[in-house]
């Protein structure tokens, strides 16, 4: 990608991440299903967020920042990754978390504390004005002599999206060195920033695969809008020869009941893949997306072509707060296929 201008970047991800075939599932469905293990990007198995942070932290350091401020749910993967990267690089992490402090720390929140992040819990009402909360934290960091850099929820900025532009390039190179020439690459979408990055990387490298996402929180229309905006911003800001694609393919209908209540069918998808292929999805993001993909394939096995690559974007630690629901399912209730 010779047309990518020098953009500040800190190498954090253990990449290239492996691409593995799901042998038994592929046989069952009748198409080749592969998984790119972006859950193994390192820094506490931080998944897609490490790729985004390579560019966000690159920009933060270029601006002289010593403190990273971000926000998310109590089990936010992005917040935990910011905490892990900060500890690794000797920066301070300040996290605004939606919810009350629990009696016992668990999952990502336990890791946030372990990694020394400073936490500010927010009520639901405060969360509606999260920009004010972040502004207040920024002012407090400055008042104590620090240099803050604010990362919006999920690292959802044009800078963060560059991480998945680089991932598309990585996939392109892997296909040149023996990985299959995929017809479709499927990724989980919260904001759609990662999908936007992949779409940009596809345009810049000539990666053949269609880039499809499964919306797991926002409505598909909002994801599409965001993807288009990010590609436009990237073209303007970095002078990249990318244009918003005329059609952004987003699979809708798998958002479930939000990020804190997960249905038995989604937990069933986690259990099923773990037992069939030895790969553990997270219930909040990747399990919903994978479930959506399998569901679509059941309806029309060839709609994504013959070779499909699902990017596992991580999130494993949010599995543990669902221990009660999982235990009930694992102890005998019938599992949803």
List active site positions.
76
User: Are the beta carbons of 240 and 3 closer than 8 angstroms?
Assistant: yes
Q: Which stretch binds ligand PLP (CB under 6 A): 20-28, 104-112, 182-190, 245-253?
A: 182-190
- Collect all residues with Cβ–Cβ distance below 8 Å to 203 and sequence separation of at least 6: 241, 242, 243
Among 58, 148, 152, 193, binds ligand PLP (CB under 6 A): 193
Please list every residue from 68 through 107 that binds ligand PLP, using CB under 6 A. 77-78
Closest contact distance (angstroms) between CB of 114 and ligand PLP is 19
> Could you tell me which stretch among 112-120, 127-135, 139-147, 308-316 binds ligand PLP (CB under 6 A)?
308-316
Binding residue (CB under 6 A) for ligand PLP from 315, 317, 321, 326:
315
82 CB-near residues (< 8 Å, 6+ apart): 49, 53, 68, 70, 93, 95, 117, 151
Residue 41 lies near ligand PLP (rule: CB under 6 A): no
In this complex, which beta carbon is closest to ligand PLP, that of residue 198 or of residue 308? 198
Per-residue x/- track, 277-296, ligand PLP (CB under 6 A): -----x--xx----------
- Interface residue with ligand PLP among 192, 268, 283, 292 (CB under 6 A) is 192
Shortest approach of ligand PLP to residue 156 CB, angstroms?
5
Q: What whole-number distance in Å separates Cα of residue 58 and Cα of residue 208? A: 29
Q: How far is the CB of 237 from ligand PLP (least distance, A)?
A: 18
Instruction: Determine which residue in the list 33, 35, 47, 94 makes contact with ligand PLP, applying CB under 6 A.
Output: 47
Question: Token pair for residue 103?
Answer: 């009696």
* Candidates 101-109, 143-151, 177-185, 189-197; binding stretch for ligand PLP (CB under 6 A): 189-197
Q: Contact with ligand PLP (CB under 6 A): which of 149, 190, 254, 310?
A: 190
Q: Tabulate helix, strand, coil % of the chain (nearest 5).
A: 50, 15, 35
Q: For residue 275, how many other CB atoms are within 10 A of its CB?
A: 10
Total of residues contacting ligand PLP (CB under 6 A): 19
180 touches 210 (CB < 8 A): no
Can you read off the two tokens belonging to residue 205? 């490298």
Nearest residue (CB) to ligand PLP, 141 versus 201:
201
DSSP state of 103: S
Q: Please, what is the Cα angle at 195 between 192 and 200, to 5 degrees?
A: 125
d(CA 204, CA 243): 10
CB of 191 to ligand PLP, least distance (A): 4
Structure tokens at 97: 């978390």
Q: Which of residues 134-173 bind ligand PLP (CB under 6 A)?
A: 154, 156
Q: Decide: is 194 part of the binding site for ligand PLP (CB under 6 A).
A: yes
Applying CB under 6 A, which of residues 201, 256, 314, 321 lies at the interface with ligand PLP? 314
Q: By C-beta, is 192 or 244 nearer to ligand PLP?
A: 192
In the complex, the smallest distance separating the C-beta of residue 61 from ligand PLP, rounded to whole angstroms, is 22
| Residue 218 beta carbon to ligand PLP: minimum distance, rounded to whole angstroms | 8
Please state, in angstroms and rounded to a whole number, the distance separating the CA atoms of residues 125 and 146: 28
Would you list the DSSP string of 47-101?
Answer: THHHHHHHHHHHHHHHTT--EEEEEEETT-HHHHHHHHHHHHHT-EEEEEEESPP
Cβ-Cβ contacts under 8 Å for 334 (sequence gap 6 or more): none
Report the interface residues with ligand PLP, using CB under 6 A: 47-48, 77-78, 154, 156, 188-194, 282, 285-286, 313-315
């Amino acid at each position: 990608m010779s047309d990518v201008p020098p953009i500040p970047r800190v190498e954090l991800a253990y990449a290239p991440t492996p691409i593995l075939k799901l042998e038994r599932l592929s046989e069952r469905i009748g198409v080749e299903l592969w998984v790119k293990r972006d859950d193994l990007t390192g820094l506490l198995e931080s998944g897609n967020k490490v790729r985004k942070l390579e560019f966000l932290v690159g920009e933060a350091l270029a601006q002289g920042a010593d403190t990273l401020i971000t926000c998310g749910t109590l089990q936010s993967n992005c917040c935990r990754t910011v905490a892990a990267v900060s500890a690794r690089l000797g920066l301070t992490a300040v996290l605004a978390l939606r919810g009350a402090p629990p009696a016992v720390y668990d999952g990502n929140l336990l890791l946030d504390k372990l990694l020394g992040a400073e936490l500010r819990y927010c009520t639901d009402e405060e969360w509606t004005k999260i920009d004010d909360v972040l502004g207040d934290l920024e002012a407090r960091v400055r008042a104590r002599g620090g240099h803050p850099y604010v990362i919006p929820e999920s690292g959802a900025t044009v800078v963060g999206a560059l991480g998945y532009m680089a991932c598309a390039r990585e996939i392109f190179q892997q296909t040149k060195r023996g990985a299959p020439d995929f017809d479709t690459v499927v990724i989980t979408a919260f904001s759609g920033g990662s999908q936007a990055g992949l779409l940009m990387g596809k345009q810049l490298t000539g990666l053949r695969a269609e880039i499809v996402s499964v919306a797991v929180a926002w409505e598909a229309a909002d994801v599409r809008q965001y993807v288009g905006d990010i590609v436009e911003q990237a073209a303007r800001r970095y002078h990249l020869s990318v244009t918003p694609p005329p059609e952004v393919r987003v699979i809708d209908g798998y958002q479930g009941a939000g990020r804190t209540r997960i249905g038995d069918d989604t937990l069933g998808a986690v259990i099923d893949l773990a037992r069939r292929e030895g790969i553990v999805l997270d219930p909040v993001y990747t399990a919903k997306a994978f479930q959506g993909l399998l569901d679509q394939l059941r309806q029309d096995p060839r709609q994504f072509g013959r070779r499909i690559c699902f990017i596992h974007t991580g999130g494993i630690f949010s599995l543990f707060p669902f221990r009660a629901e999982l235990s009930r399912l694992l102890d005998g209730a019938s599992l949803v296929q």
